[in-house]
Structure 1
């Protein structure tokens, strides 16, 4: 079976196929369009017939879908599940839907894990989707509510599950919010990283750990659903 891709032409040409069972940390500063970048990676999975489970700790499930509607991207047929950790925290009474399940808050790791498992059962066992992605956006929010040891144990379960299921996991971390010990501890669970840093008025990204040498740094710009890259000088 084929591996995975990020859907970013310049990086995919360097990385080749990402092997099944890979877990990746995406780390970068605030205001660096990480959400949009993750959405585009998720969308590339839909194009390739992958399912995606997104744990959203910063926006409601409905807001996630609004981005695709706003950019006129049709994902009505996509196998997608959102674990919404925001709606109940805000005291909103929205019910669950086929595509959105509600956890009580970002601190409810047991509840989040149950909702993830329900979507996995639907996509993997019932629908027999051959390739599946798990995205947590973001780990930083979860770390604000839970201690590092608890989050590590939670992640250890699901990074292991992605390996066993030949999936692809992407986990977002806010750079600058955590001490070096926290980042170093979490890195043990990942096979590679998408690193983002500010470069003047722009941001650059590279991938580390999935090839013998890191990829070059690429300056990127996202306009709607369009991603433009050029190699940083």
Structure 2
């Protein structure tokens, strides 16, 4: 249990320096590539973990999180599932929302899960959203999605959490990406190469600015 009030979030086995509490990162890269695995690896640690999943079911998300070294649903690991799959049997640690377009419902379930982990004594939490793309697809206007993202990132900042949200930049116009990016402190760009996944960071000091290889899990 993380009760010591850490001042930074560290990223084990990733070529990234620790970041201050309250930091929000936008992870940009292709949906069918290393972006998903990177986001899940950024959530690894002793902190509470909350995942909003829109592309895949809670069951698949939790399986992928365990594959990268995390643990299954518990008082520390929670999921808000808006992928329209039925995962009701996973219990209280998974909240279902009917559609990626129901931003109010997602926000309510997320806030409830956040409050639950803090009530159990976890004072640091990592939040992941994979991905923002379905939320944008289900809403014709970027403005409600921007307000939703701004609300989530503001909560994370106020609570000294860590936010990691993924988006496929090729799936959206530059103006949409630029609008969403305003809510984040830094951007982690992801690309797939013949030798594996590489990343570089924009907007944060002391982070790799050139393309840097990400060590494989095995």
TM-score under structure 2 length normalisation? 0.87
Corresponding residue for residue 20 of structure 2: 19
- Runs of 4+ deviating beyond 6 Å: none
Corresponding residue for residue 121 of structure 2: 128
Instruction: For 1:213-224, list aligned pairs within 5 A.
Output: 214-220=208-214, 222=216
CA displacement 1:96-126 (0-9 Å, x = unmatched):
61211100110011110011011111111x1
Corresponding residue for residue 41 of structure 1: 42
For structure 2, list consecutive stretches of 5 or more residues without a partner in the other structure: 1-5
Q: Distance in 2 between matches of 1:96 and 1:155?
A: 26
1:61 equivalent to 2:54? Answer no
Q: How far did 1:65 drift?
A: 2.0
Q: Counterpart of 2:148 in 1: which secondary structure? A: helix
Q: Distance in 1 between matches of 2:26 and 2:13?
A: 16
CA displacement 1:68-88 (0-9 Å, x = unmatched):
5556764466601100112xx
Selected match of 2:198 from 198, 201, 204: 204
Q: Counterpart of 2:50 in 1: which secondary structure? A: strand
TM-score under structure 1 length normalisation? 0.82
Aligned-residue RMSD, C-alpha = 2.3
**Mean Cα displacement is larger for which, 32-41 or 175-184?**
32-41
Aligned residues: 212
Q: Counterpart of 2:95 in 1: which secondary structure? A: strand
Q: Counterpart of 1:10 in 2: which secondary structure? A: coil
Q: Distance in 2 between matches of 1:74 and 1:128?
A: 18
For structure 1, list consecutive stretches of 5 or more residues without a partner in the other structure: 228-233
